[in-house]
Amino acid sequence: MARSTSYFLVISAAVLLPSACILAQGPQGNAGRGEKLFNELRCSTCHSVRGAGGASAPALGPKAGQTYTPNTLAGSMWSHVTKMWEAMKTAGISRPKITEQQAADLFVYFGGAAGSDKPGNAAQGRKVFEAKLCASCHDDSYQAPDLTRLAGNVSAYSMVQSLWEHGEGMLARMVSRNTAWQTMTAAEMGHIIAYLNSKK
């Protein structure tokens, strides 16, 4: 009995450890703080959450039949951010910086407490990284910061933080290189995160 238990532990550690390394979860969110932020950062001017807030932009949170996970949030933000920023500019609302912790708080408030992501696949992530043109800049340190130093610390929430902190510079570089902003599904986001965490 003791013996089979220790086998079980050894096997589950072997199975769990590699995926734990690839899937950095990021911090735990808090819904109360998320609600406060949603109003303070003025997201509520345009978006609603469970009926509360503005109507000029899509309601946030799980859509019917959807499993809402951190990658859903990060993927949809990366996909829609350029139009969102135009709307913010028109409305005279300044773009906030959002920390990794704040992204986690917003996620839980939007209704994602129950949803978690399956680990992405690093090899597939590399393919997405090329297909979405990330590699065309980030594999060249003259074009964009080297992302290998982020390895081990990338989560869906840190990707949200990077977007609000560095997205403007990234967009400017894309415009100057005639590169279009790319959209990303939640699954693609998960693969990219796995790839960035695995980079040596």
Q: Which of 22, 23, 41, 122 is the binder for ligand HEC (CB under 6 A)? A: 41
Q: Write out the DSSP string of the chain.
A: -HHHHHHHHHHHHHHHHHHHHH----PPP-HHHHHHHHHHTTGGGT-EETTEE-SSSPPBSPPTT----HHHHHHHHHHHHHHHHHHHHHHTPPPPP--HHHHHHHHIIIIITT--PPP--HHHHHHHHHHTTHHHHHTSTTTS--SGGGTT---HHHHHHHHHHHHHHHHHHHHHTTPPP----HHHHHHHHHHHHH--
CA distance 23 to 34: 23
Q: What string marks each residue from 115 to 154 as x (binds ligand HEC by CB under 6 A) or -? A: -----------------xxx-xxx----xxx-x-------
Sign of CA pseudo-dihedral 162, 104, 184, 122: positive
Q: Which of 58, 118, 130, 148 is the binder for ligand HEC (CB under 6 A)? A: 58
* Residue whose CB is nearest to ligand HEC in the complex, by number: 169
**Applying CB under 6 A, does 192 fall inside the site for ligand HEC?**
yes
**Applying CB under 6 A, does 169 fall inside the site for ligand HEC?**
yes
**Applying CB under 6 A, does 186 fall inside the site for ligand HEC?**
no
- Chain positions 84 to 103 lying near ligand HEC, rule: CB under 6 A, are 84, 87-88, 91, 93, 96
**Applying CB under 6 A, does 187 fall inside the site for ligand HEC?**
no
Q: Which of 36, 50, 83, 118 is the binder for ligand HEC (CB under 6 A)? A: 83
| Minimum separation from the CB atom of position 47 to ligand HEC (A) | 5
| Minimum separation from the CB atom of position 118 to ligand HEC (A) | 19
Contact predicate 133/86, CB 8 Å: no
Give residues in contact with ligand HEC (CB under 6 A): 41-43, 45-47, 56-58, 60, 73, 76-77, 80, 83-84, 87-88, 91, 93, 96, 106, 132-134, 136-138, 143-145, 147, 162, 166, 169-170, 173-174, 177, 179, 182, 192
